[in-house]
A and B are shown apart, each in its own frame.
Chain A
Amino acid sequence: EPEVTQTPSHQVTQMGQEVILRCVPISNHLYFYWYRQILGQKVEFLVSFYNNEISEKSEIFDDQFSVERPDGSNFTLKIRSTKLEDSAMYFCASSVGNTIYFGEGSWLTVV
């Protein structure tokens, strides 16, 4: 069964550093998403992306965040200047039609 794949699985970064999380959505999917989950809390929507542009974003997705689809397969989330509170699991997801499929996540630790 096709899966959403994410890299890295775990990254530790210094506060203030830039981080790029990478995702390969399922190949025939048209909508791409980033969600985050702080340890022990619920999954929170960050941004959705369709037709090479952001279609929706949450209040969490401020100017420090950006997304890009640099080629036909990758979908990236960039955090420009990480803060301690950015420490979380970041899930990429993709969909075609109704069903949203999540990747295994990238665990980001900001120290």
Chain B
Amino acid sequence: GENVEQHPSTLSVQEGDSAVIKCTYSDSASNYFPWYKQELGKRPQLIIDIRSNVGEKKDQRIAVTLNKTAKHFSLHITETQPEDSAVYFCAASSLSGGGADGLTFGKGTHLIIQP
């Protein structure tokens, strides 16, 4: 089955600086890579996703890059703000038919924004 590794487990950055979280996956059949943000005691919320036919996607301060050959993908957050503090999870799955197979999550990165 799929295995997703995520690094680092904790990341502390100064407010206004950039943060980068990296993930690798093992199954070359995976073609869908979402990123979720989870605040303490809350549900995971999708913040951005990318499919394997695209190398990069950006949404305001958030961007995701995908390297299919190396099987790794990264989340980039620029101009970090205190409200970005949360646990971020990467995930991988394959899209088939009309929906996604079960997501395999990484272990999460606790992002801490220092004021």
Interface residues of chain A, those whose CB is within 8 Å of chain B, are 30-31, 33, 35, 41-48, 50, 55-56, 58, 91, 95-105
Give the residue name and chain of the B residue nearest to A41 (CB). B107
**B residues in contact with A95, CB < 8 Å:** 99-100
Is B61 an interface residue when CB atoms closer than 8 A count as contact? no
Give Cα distance in the complex from A26 to B44, angstroms. Answer: 16
Tell me which of B89, B103, B104, B108 contacts A100 (CB under 8 A): B103
A-B contact pairs, 8 of them (CB 8 A): A35-B103, A43-B44, A43-B89, A47-B102, A91-B43, A95-B100, A98-B51, A98-B100
A31, B100: Cβ atoms closer than 8 Å: yes
CB distance from A79 to the nearest CB of B (A): 18
Give Cα distance in the complex from A31 to B36, angstroms. Answer: 19
**A residues in contact with B32, CB < 8 Å:** 98
Give Cα distance in the complex from A43 to B42, angstroms. Answer: 12
A-B contact count (CB 8 A): 66
Main secondary structure of the interface of B (DSSP, over half): strand
Residue-wise interface mask of B (30-45) relative to A, using a CB-CB cutoff of 8 A (1 in contact, 0 not): 0010101010001111
Residue-wise interface mask of B (81-115) relative to A, using a CB-CB cutoff of 8 A (1 in contact, 0 not): 00000000101000101111111111110000000
**B residues in contact with A103, CB < 8 Å:** 43
Residue-wise interface mask of B (56-81) relative to A, using a CB-CB cutoff of 8 A (1 in contact, 0 not): 00000000000000000000000000
**A residues in contact with B104, CB < 8 Å:** 45
Residue-wise interface mask of B (14-56) relative to A, using a CB-CB cutoff of 8 A (1 in contact, 0 not): 0000000000000000001010101000111110010100000
CB distance from A97 to the nearest CB of B (A): 7
CB distance from B100 to the nearest CB of A (A): 6
B98, A97: Cβ atoms closer than 8 Å: yes
CB distance from A90 to the nearest CB of B (A): 11
Give Cα distance in the complex from A46 to B101, angstroms. Answer: 11
Tell me which of A43, A100, A102 contacts B100 (CB under 8 A): A100
